[in-house]
């Protein structure tokens, strides 16, 4: 962990009087009672909730905008005559790309810690320094990841996926693959901006990018303005174009903001700083591994469901899109928690860091509890938004019923992952996801699907158990972190 168990932390646990002595000296800006179990002082919600909402709302909206591209892709290809095959192709191609894409973007999550803590300490030059070196990380990693995606795409036949689905999957995936570097650059710029409380440009970029993606899908999938119909591959090119647009918009905003306010970005050393790059990678690699473990298990599940046929695969994609939408809100709250916790620790405010984390947990858990009820009561109307196919509607509704049971825990794990990232702890979430998904959830799901005859709901049941375990474990780790919070000058 970033701070570890310092001498002051040991005193916090052993001697309350000694802690007060340290607080009076200015070493800590907390009072002893704040290190107790949450709920002892709930009045902090009145102080922390407004700034948390101001930061989390646009970030969550941006996350929803990010997920909106996948939903539009699914809905647009779902209206093709070969609906099940097209949705299955978009599902398989999209999850393969995102497995590597999220690893690359995960490398940038170290910027949440470095930039937010530097900003909290008032060191804007250090924020710029992290931005420049984050660019170099993306420049090196993007072509490597792009090559891996190309190799995986050409090897999908080995997983037993039906040929009629692969016929659309491979071209779609190759089109998406060209968006790897713009996607990584976008996340570098985004982490830099939101860690400095500049979230409105991120929200604007994603909302407008969704309009471009929607228009591009309409033109390229069905063929308009003299362009021949391209089917699912047209959706891949539309998404690629919209992700290039995302990076361009944020880069343009940063250039504009620097020209107007002259914050010193131009004065930052442009050459690579290997020490800072190592810090970014050291913090980002566990987070990238955690995202890869999480997205990768869904990629394996998608490939396994591809063996069952087009209808189960299409139903899986629709259910996955739906739960991804609900997940985007606590994911945005988690990002806000990382920033708020980082700001507080940067200014040596342990009490503020604790308040920020618990406020975010309450927001995320409350929202996902409502989503669980919604998925449980209205599964069929939700699925009908994506497709009119009755077989797909029936199959996807069963998956949403399973998803309702893990919504609350999915929200808790997303928020606590962000709060821990704000302290510099990116390893704990990685280990929790690795063990729960790959050693427990996936084997159980495989057994239920192929040996007990449950089909796709069996695989989803395994994932459900994994998410419940992850949510509980990370909540416990966050509570332990609160008890260990102590910051030396």
User: What 3-state DSSP class applies to 79?
Assistant: coil
pLDDT value at position 246? 92
- CA pair distance 2, 341, nearest whole angstrom: 13
Structure confidence by residue, pLDDT tens digits, 311-320 = 888 888 889 8
Tokens of 270: 């442009």
Long-range contacts of 151-159 (CB under 8 A, 24+ apart): 152/96, 152/100, 153/93, 153/96, 153/177, 156/92, 156/96, 156/303, 159/303, 159/304, 159/306, 159/307
User: What 3-state DSSP class applies to 451?
Assistant: helix
Give me the mean pLDDT over the 164-169 stretch. Answer: 80
Buried-exposed string 253-285: b where 16+ CB fall within 10 A, e elsewhere: bbeebeeeeebebeebeeeebeebbebbeebbb
How many helical (H) and strand (E) elements, i.e. helices and strands, does the chain have? 19, 0
Candidate from 202-206, 274-278, 422-426, 470-474 with smallest mean pLDDT: 422-426
Give the max Cα distance, the chain.
78
Candidate from 40-54, 88-102, 450-464, 470-484 with smallest mean pLDDT: 40-54
pLDDT value at position 371? 94
* Percent share of the chain, pLDDT over 70: 89
Instruction: Return the DSSP state at 27.
Output: S
Of 458, 358, 475, the residue nearest 408 (C-alpha): 475
Phi/psi of residue 386, nearest 5 degrees: -90, -35
pLDDT value at position 46? 66
Structure confidence by residue, pLDDT tens digits, 421-480 = 888 887 898 899 999 999 999 999 999 999 998 989 999 999 999 999 999 999 999 988
Tokens of 339: 């920033």
For residue 11, is pLDDT > 50?
no
CB 359 within 8 A of CB 49: yes
**pLDDT confidence bin for 263, thresholds 50/70/90:** confident
Tokens of 379: 């599964």
Burial of 203 by CB count in 10 Å (0-12 exposed, 13-18 middle, 19+ buried)?
A: buried
Structure confidence by residue, pLDDT tens digits, 363-389 = 999 999 999 999 999 989 988 888 778
pLDDT value at position 27? 36
DSSP string, 317-339: HHHHHHHHHHHHHHHHHHHHHHH
For residue 17, is pLDDT > 80?
no
Candidate from 350-359, 391-400, 467-476 with smallest mean pLDDT: 350-359
């Amino acid at each position: 962990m970033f701070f570890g168990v310092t001498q002051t932390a040991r005193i916090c646990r052993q001697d309350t009087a000694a802690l007060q002595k340290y607080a009076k000296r200015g070493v800590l800006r907390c009072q002893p009672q704040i290190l107790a179990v949450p709920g002892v002082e709930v009045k902090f919600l009145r102080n922390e909730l407004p700034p948390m909402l101001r930061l989390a709302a646009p970030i969550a909206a941006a996350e929803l905008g990010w997920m909106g591209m996948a939903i539009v892709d699914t809905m647009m290809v779902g209206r093709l005559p070969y609906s099940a095959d097209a949705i299955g192709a978009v599902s398989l191609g999209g999850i393969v790309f995102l497995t590597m894409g999220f690893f690359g973007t995960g490398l940038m999550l170290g910027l949440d810690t470095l930039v937010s803590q530097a900003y909290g300490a008032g060191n804007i030059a250090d924020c710029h320094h992290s931005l420049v070196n984050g660019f170099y990380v993306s420049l090196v990693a993007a072509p490597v990841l792009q090559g891996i995606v190309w190799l995986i795409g050409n090897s999908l036949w080995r997983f037993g996926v039906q040929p009629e689905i692969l016929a659309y999957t491979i071209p779609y995936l190759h089109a998406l693959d060209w968006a790897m570097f713009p996607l990584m650059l976008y996340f570098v710029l985004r982490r830099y901006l939101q860690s400095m409380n500049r979230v409105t440009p991120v929200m604007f970029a994603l909302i407008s990018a969704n309009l471009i993606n929607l228009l591009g899908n309409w033109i390229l999938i069905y063929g308009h303005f003299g362009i021949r119909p391209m089917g699912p591959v047209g959706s891949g090119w539309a998404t690629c174009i919209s992700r290039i647009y995302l990076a361009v918009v944020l880069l343009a905003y940063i250039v504009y903001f620097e020209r107007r306010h002259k914050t010193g970005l131009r004065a930052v050393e442009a050459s690579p700083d290997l020490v800072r790059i190592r810090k970014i990678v050291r913090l980002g690699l566990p987070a990238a591994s955690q995202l890869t473990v999480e997205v990768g298990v869904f990629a394996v599940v998608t490939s396994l469901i591809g063996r069952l046929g087009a209808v189960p695969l299409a139903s899986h994609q629709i259910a996955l899109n739906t739960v991804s939408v609900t997940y985007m809100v606590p994911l945005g709250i988690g990002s806000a928690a990382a920033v708020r916790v980082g700001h507080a620790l940067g200014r040596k405010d342990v009490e503020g860091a604790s308040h920020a984390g618990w406020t975010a947990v309450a927001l995320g858990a409350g929202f996902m509890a409502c989503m669980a009820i919604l998925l449980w009561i209205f599964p069929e109307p939700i699925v009908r938004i994506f497709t009119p196919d009755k077989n797909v509607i029936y199959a996807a509704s069963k998956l949403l019923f399973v998803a309702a049971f893990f919504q609350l825990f999915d929200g808790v794990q997303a928020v606590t992952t962000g709060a821990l990232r704000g302290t510099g702890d990116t390893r704990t979430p990685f280990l929790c996801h690795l063990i729960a998904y790959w050693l427990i959830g996936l084997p159980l799901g495989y057994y239920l699907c192929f040996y007990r005859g449950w089909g796709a709901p069996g695989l989803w049941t395994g994932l459900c158990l994994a998410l419940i375990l992850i949510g509980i474990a990370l909540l416990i780790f966050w509570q332990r972190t609160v008890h260990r919070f102590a910051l030396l000058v």
